[in-house]
Chain A
């Protein structure tokens, strides 16, 4: 008789995550979702101001190829006290760049627990779930949860309005005599 071959438990799947801080609070994001990490200073030259009064968490937009990427202040998004941001995560497959305080470390999670159903408000759109790390619990953010489709629509509308206003200003400046404010006597 051939002995039964030992049944091997399947190797636990893991996911590489980045632990980061916003206003002192720890969060996690899948490292696969982060396309780029930049210093805030390196962004300042490329960022353009945008004003959408109902969305105070977005104050800047960056042009990347065909797309406009909106810079979201993570502290304001989560309702945390404001803190000076040092880094920006450009999130893959989204139009979001996230202002954060800093990176804590990179690590691996083996289990992601769905957000308990007792949480029943906006947070359901913010988090993929929760993970336990070193006897602590860390929320794992959803990269596309920082801007809803409605918010993106509002921002795009604000951006095109600003672009139109800019075009008309340039046209007026270029028109002969259009903006000539010189006084001739």
Chain B
């Protein structure tokens, strides 16, 4: 049976950042850590243990898959990862969910603003 992306929601912050990092192109682990740091303006600093623990789980869930790296790095210790079709679907649904949360949050905050008499 085809897995339903909604079954994976909501995503943990580390998972969300990792999937976002891989949304554009395949990356190696160190590249993912740098990309997460950039995305979060330096606030979210993933360590290798946390990263590979998440990648291990994401690969088991088939949200991320390993791909061959560039030929220039054939003998490197690096491995490259990319989003699978399912991973892309999950990321899209999570972004839509977060948009709904933001929309709802803004509407509520507007309602709380004091109005002039």
Chain B binds chain A:
no
